[in-house]
């Protein structure tokens, strides 16, 4: 850009304060350094989360490597026999993988309908005041630490189940699923409510204007429009359930078995997270057992990472869709 300053223009006008508008070279340099170095520094600090994720993957996989190298991965994933401390140790994680899936699905069967209905209630039905009362309930449910839920499962729920239904043990898949569904509820509700309330008033008004009842409006217009967000909510709730450790460790009974018949929730199961938590304390560092638990951790990581990508996809597509409307 040309810098034409005529004498006439260069004359200062106001008497108040005459600061030069031109940077001195020193100021220029300082500004340049400040700007770029500062930015770089901030960027580096910000990328600490990237570094953290990288380190997590790197170190967990590194500790799992000896196991992955020496053992048959297919067997790890398909064998039901988990005898890590036997003379001829067997590492078959299938029953744990099934256990995780089992309690997760069972908990979602309860949590998803209740969560979505509650989200609909909060966003569409109830007045602002009641909403302000219910919100803290959800927040407290989310804030209660998992170990407290586990405590409840072991000392309150388990004896109750045992006495009420005559189960052989109160710490079983049903117990764990009930607690997990309580824990997944807040996640599902808040994400689902977000996506339901971002569906604009216009759509709702259009539907009401055509004579639809509230039920019809919600089921035919609002929920279909918000479906991506709701799917993301379900997946996030699922991630919470799969990744949960203390509750399943305390409440599931920790028997490495696949329930038979498959619908029998009253049997004990063991999940991947619980087996890591329970057995890591007893392993010798550097033993096959130790590495195998890290391998289980890698499996969990991969699972969660995949679910995360899927939920991200749905959240982004929800945003895009609603953004266009």
Partner 1 sequence: MPTSTIKNQAKSDHIDSVVSLSEKKTSSSKSELDCQCPVVKAENFSFYYGSKAGVKDISMEFYPCSVTAIIGPSGCGKSTFLRSINRINDLIPNTSVKGNLFVNGHNVYDKNTNLVNLRQQVGMVFQKPNPFPKSIFDNIAYGPKLQGVKSRSKLQQIVEESLKAAALWKEVKDDLKKSALALSGGQQQRLCIARALATKPNTLLMDEPCSALDPIATGKIEDLIGRLQSDYTIVIVTHSMQQAARISRRTAFFCLGELIEYGSTVDIFRNPGKKQTEDYVTGRFG
Partner 2 sequence: MKYNTRHIINKIFTVVTAASVVLMIVILISVLGPMIWRGSSAVFFKSTVEFRKMQLDLHHRGDEAEIGDEISKSEIYRDFIYHKIDVFKKGINTDYYTDRVKQIYRKFSKELQYNGIKGDQLSRRRKFARGIRRDMEKAFKSLDKAEILQIIDDVNKCKGDERIANTKADEFFVLADEYKETIKNFDLSKRQQYAQALKEVEGLVRQLLGPRSDEPLPAMVMDRYGATRVDLAKELLDKIIWKRQWVQQNPDKPMVEEKVRRATQFAGTELESIFPYIEENFDTITIPRFTFYWQYFFDDSTSGHYFGGVGPEILGTLILTVLAMAFVFPLGVISAAYLVECASDNMAVRIIRMSINTLAGVPSIVFGLFGLAFFVLVFIPFFGGPSKPCILAASLTLAVLTLPVMIRASEEAIRSVPKTYKEASLGLGAGRFRTFVKVTFPAALPGILTGVILSLSRVAGETAPILFTGACAFGSVPKSLFSQTRTLSYGSYDIAVGDKIGMLVPHNQYGMVVTLVLLIICLNAIAIFFRAKIFRRLKGH
Beta-carbon contacts of 60 under 8 Å, excluding residues fewer than 6 positions away, are: 294, 297, 298, 301
Residue from 28, 70, 132, 205 in contact with partner 1 (CB under 8 A):
28
Cα distances (angstroms) measured from residue 39 to each of 25, 28, 30, 137, 236: 21, 16, 14, 41, 33
Q: Give the footprint of partner 2 on residues 180-209 (CB under 8 A).
A: 182, 185
38 binds, among partner 1, partner 2, none (CB under 5 to 8 A by kind): partner 2
Integer Cα distance of 320 and 325 in angstroms: 9
CB of 114 to partner 2, least distance (A): 5
Which three-class secondary structure string do you get for 139-168?
Answer: HHHHHCCHHHHHHHHHHHHHHHHHHHHCCC
Using rule CB under 8 A, residue 21 touches partner 1: yes
325 binds, among partner 1, partner 2, none (CB under 5 to 8 A by kind): none
Q: Contact, 195 vs 226, CB < 8 A?
A: yes
Using rule CB under 8 A, residue 284 touches partner 1: no
Each residue 81-110 as x (binds partner 2 by CB under 8 A) or -, in order, gives ------------------------------
Using rule CB under 8 A, residue 33 touches partner 2: no
Using rule CB under 8 A, residue 291 touches partner 2: no
Q: Tell me the Ramachandran region of residue 166: left when phi exceeds 0, alpha when psi lies from -120 to 50, beta otherwise.
A: left
Identify the bridge partners of residue 82 per DSSP, sorted by sequence position. Answer: 91
Q: Contact, 251 vs 175, CB < 8 A?
A: yes
Using rule CB under 8 A, residue 46 touches partner 1: no
Using rule CB under 8 A, residue 17 touches partner 2: no
Using rule CB under 8 A, residue 26 touches partner 1: no
Nearer to partner 2, 118 or 265 (CB): 118
C-alpha torsion 254→256→261→265, nearest 10: 20
Q: Contact, 93 vs 76, CB < 8 A?
A: yes
Each residue 257-286 as x (binds partner 2 by CB under 8 A) or -, in order, gives ----------------x--xx--xx-----
Size of the site for partner 2 (CB under 8 A): 77
Using rule CB under 8 A, residue 14 touches partner 1: yes
Using rule CB under 8 A, residue 27 touches partner 1: yes
Q: Give the footprint of partner 2 on residues 205-224 (CB under 8 A).
A: 213-216, 218
Integer Cα distance of 208 and 204 in angstroms: 6
Residue from 17, 49, 88, 127 in contact with partner 2 (CB under 8 A):
49
Q: Longest C-alpha distance within the chain, in Å?
A: 100
Two tokens, residue 194: 């977000």
Using rule CB under 8 A, residue 11 touches partner 1: yes
Using rule CB under 8 A, residue 260 touches partner 1: no
Residues that bind partner 1 in the complex, under the rule CB under 8 A: 1-6, 8-17, 19-23, 27-28
């Amino acid at each position: 850009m040309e810098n034409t300053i005529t004498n006439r223009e260069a004359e200062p006008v106001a008497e108040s304060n005459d600061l030069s508008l031109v940077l001195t070279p020193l100021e220029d340099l300082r500004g340049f350094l400040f700007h770029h170095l500062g930015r770089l520094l901030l960027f580096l600090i910000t990328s600490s989360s990237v570094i953290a994720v990288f380190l997590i993957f790197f170190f967990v996989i590194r500790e799992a490597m000896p196991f992955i190298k020496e053992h048959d991965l297919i067997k790890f994933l398909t064998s039901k026999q988990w005898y890590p401390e036997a003379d001829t140790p067997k590492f078959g994680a299938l029953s744990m993988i099934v256990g995780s899936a089992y309690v997760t699905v069972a908990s979602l069967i309860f949590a998803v309908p209740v969560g979505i209905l509650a989200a609909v209630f909060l966003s569409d039905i109830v007045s602002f005041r009641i909403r302000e009362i219910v919100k803290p309930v959800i927040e407290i449910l989310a804030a209660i630490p998992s170990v407290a839920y586990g405590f409840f499962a072991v000392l309150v729920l388990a004896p109750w189940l045992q006495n009420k239904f005559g189960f052989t043990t109160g710490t079983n898949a049903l117990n764990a699923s009930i607690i997990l569904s309580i824990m997944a509820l807040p996640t599902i509700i808040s994400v689902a409510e977000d996506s339901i309330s971002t569906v604009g008033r216009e759509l709702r008004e259009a539907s009401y204007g055509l004579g639809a009842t509230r039920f019809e409006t919600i089921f035919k217009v609002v929920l279909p429009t918000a479906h991506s967000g709701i799917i993301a909510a379900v997946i996030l709730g699922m991630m919470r359930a799969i990744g949960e450790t203390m509750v399943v460790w305390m409440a599931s009974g920790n028997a490495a078995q696949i329930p038979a018949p498959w619908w029998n929730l009253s049997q004990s199961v063991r999940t991947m997270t619980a087996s890591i938590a329970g057995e890591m304390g007893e392993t010798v560092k550097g033993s096959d057992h130790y590495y195998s638990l890290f391998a289980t951790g890698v499996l969990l990581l991969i699972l969660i990472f995949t679910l995360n990508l899927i939920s991200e996809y749905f959240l982004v597509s929800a945003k895009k869709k609603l953004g266009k409307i």
